[in-house]
């Protein structure tokens, strides 16, 4: 295994130059932000702030409690001026689909003078090529083979030649830890360890970050997990694992929708399971689905069929409908994929 270097260095350089030349920047990431989305946003935002730029840290949803420890979280806002001040560069992190930015996406895109996308998700329709979001000045740096958007941010800050402070290092380390699943996912490689080591050398504290991310759950969350675990089911000789959370479970436990981080891992870890599904219905009729796989099954492709997306081994989508309906459609589609793969093997 060798270290992965940035691909398409020309586009990366264009992104670096565009960021360098901008005095006013609006940073944003996907709704329901996770450690990579927020760590990337705050890491880049703090570097820009330290360089004297006018930076707005915008996310539509509030940061979950478990991520409030990230340095710079106090700068996060969920409202921005309309119209945006002149010559605002919009930087989109860990996301390349406008609807994933949230309700303000369209007008932010229209009002920004320049857009820079730094992401690692497989893209559905390239942002800049989509007629709905086409923008005359858009630099799109998307590297699906890299484990975290935080890694791209580290390349960008290094490209800018700016210092990596302890606060920046902490954010980017949290980003990498989150998206590699603590260095367990298939995206973990030598570069992930090298970058993490580099960030630790710049002041990130692995024990402190791991504690804040994974030893900091509310009691309500654990109660919810208890209820959800009772729903475990397996299908297709154990190859498909399912878990479900109902509005009633949220009510009984007092947990919130942010409290379900890695519940899907509780079925993925079963020895026979290839595809893991967690169906979450926080409000009746509003369903969000997390999909995971272990080896050959491309869950990003499956999620796309429901208007979502993600990565080969981790993806998701949201949909209106009942959990039972969505479960049925999903199982049928997964069963069909298994049949196809079994026929191909025969």
Tell me if 62 sits within 8 A of 31, measured CB to CB.
Answer: no
Closest CB 260 distance from ligand 5GP, rounded Å: 9
Closest Cα to residue 269, out of 258, 282, 281, 278?
A: 278
Closest CB 296 distance from Mn ion, rounded Å: 22
Could you say whether residue 314 binds ligand 5GP (CB under 6 A)? yes
* CB of 6 or CB of 308, closer to ligand 5GP: 308
* CB of 97 or CB of 167, closer to ligand 5GP: 97
| Residue 258 binds which of ligand 5GP, Mn ion, none (CB < 5-8 A, kind-dependent) | none
Contact residues for 177 (Cβ-Cβ < 8 A; gap 6+): 35, 183, 196, 206, 209, 210, 213
Residue 326: helix, strand or coil by DSSP?
A: helix
Closest CB 215 distance from Mn ion, rounded Å: 22
Site string for ligand 5GP, 16-45 (x = CB under 6 A): --------------x---------------
Closest CB 95 distance from Mn ion, rounded Å: 8
Could you say whether residue 196 binds ligand 5GP (CB under 6 A)? no
Stretch that binds ligand 5GP, among 70-78, 209-217, 238-246, 313-321 (CB under 6 A): 313-321
Could you say whether residue 268 binds ligand 5GP (CB under 6 A)? no
| Residue 149 binds which of Mn ion, ligand 5GP, none (CB < 5-8 A, kind-dependent) | Mn ion
> Of residues 308, 313, 326, 330, which one binds ligand 5GP by CB under 6 A?
308
Closest CB 304 distance from Mn ion, rounded Å: 17
With CB atoms as reference, the residue minimizing the distance to Mn ion is: 36
Calpha distance 221→254 (Å, rounded): 8
Phi and psi torsions of 316, nearest 5°:
-170, 170
Residue 58: helix, strand or coil by DSSP?
A: strand
Closest CB 165 distance from ligand 5GP, rounded Å: 27
* Three-state secondary structure readout of 100-126: HHCCCHHHHHHHCCEEEEEECCCCCCC
CA distances from 82 to 41, 88, 137, 187, 291 (A): 21, 12, 20, 39, 36
* CB of 109 or CB of 122, closer to Mn ion: 122
Closest CB 274 distance from ligand 5GP, rounded Å: 16
> Of residues 154, 315, 323, 330, which one binds ligand 5GP by CB under 6 A?
315
Could you say whether residue 310 binds ligand 5GP (CB under 6 A)? yes
For residues 158-177, which are near ligand 5GP according to CB under 6 A? Answer: none
For residues 120-149, which are near ligand 5GP according to CB under 6 A? Answer: 121
**Packed helices 166-179 and 149-160: angle between N→C axes, nearest 10 degrees:** 150
For residues 275-294, which are near ligand 5GP according to CB under 6 A? Answer: 290
The DSSP bridge partners found for residue 279 are 244, 289
Could you say whether residue 181 binds ligand 5GP (CB under 6 A)? no
Dihedral of alpha carbons 53, 33, 179, 303, sign: negative
Could you tell me how far CA 31 lies from the centroid of its own chain?
Answer: 9
Closest Cα to residue 254, out of 228, 230, 281, 218?
A: 218
Measured in Å, how far apart are the chain's first and last C-alpha atoms?
32
Residues that bind Mn ion (CB under 5 A): 36, 94, 149, 179
Calpha distance 300→14 (Å, rounded): 28
Closest CB 92 distance from Mn ion, rounded Å: 12
Q: Cis ω on the peptide bond leading into residue 83 (within 30° of 0)?
A: yes
Closest CB 242 distance from ligand 5GP, rounded Å: 14
Q: Write out the residues near ligand 5GP by the rule CB under 6 A.
A: 30, 97, 100, 121, 290, 308-311, 314-318
């Amino acid at each position: 295994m060798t270290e992965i270097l940035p691909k398409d260095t020309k586009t990366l350089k264009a992104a670096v130059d565009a960021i360098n030349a901008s005095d006013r920047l609006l940073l944003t990431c996907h709704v329901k932000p996770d450690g990579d989305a927020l760590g990337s946003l705050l890491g880049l935002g703090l570097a820009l702030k330290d360089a004297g730029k006018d930076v707005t840290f915008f996310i539509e949803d509030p940061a979950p409690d478990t991520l409030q420890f990230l340095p710079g979280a106090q700068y996060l806002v969920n409202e921005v001026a309309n119209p945006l001040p002149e010559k605002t560069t919009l930087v989109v992190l860990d996301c390349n689909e406008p609807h994933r930015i949230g309700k303000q996406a369209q007008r932010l895109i229209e009002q920004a003078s320049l857009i820079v996308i730094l992401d690692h998700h497989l893209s559905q329709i390239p942002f800049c090529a989509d007629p709905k979001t086409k923008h005359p000045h858009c630099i799109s740096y998307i590297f699906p083979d890299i484990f975290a958007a935080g890694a791209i941010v580290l390349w960008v800050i290094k490209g800018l030649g700016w210092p990596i402070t302890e606060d920046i290092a902490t954010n980017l380390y949290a980003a990498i830890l989150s998206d590699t699943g603590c260095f367990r996912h298939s995206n973990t490689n030598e570069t992930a360890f090298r970058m993490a080591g580099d960030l630790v050398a710049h002041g990130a504290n692995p024990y402190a970050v791991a504690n804040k991310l994974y030893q900091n759950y509310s009691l309500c969350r654990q109660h919810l997990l208890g209820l959800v675990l009772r729903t475990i089911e397996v299908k297709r000789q154990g190859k498909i694992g399912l878990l479900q959370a109902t509005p009633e479970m949220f009510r009984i436990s007092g947990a919130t929708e942010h409290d379900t981080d890695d519940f899907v891992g509780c079925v993925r870890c079963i020895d026979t399971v290839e595809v893991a599904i967690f169906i979450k219905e926080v409000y009746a009729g509003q369903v969000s689905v997390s999909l995971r796989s272990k080896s050959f099954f491309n869950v990003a492709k499956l999620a796309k069929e429901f208007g979502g997306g993600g990565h080969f081994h981790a993806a998701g989508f949201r949909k209106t409908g009942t959990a039972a309906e969505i479960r049925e459609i999903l199982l049928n589609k997964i069963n069909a994929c298994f049949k196809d793969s079994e026929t191909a093997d025969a």
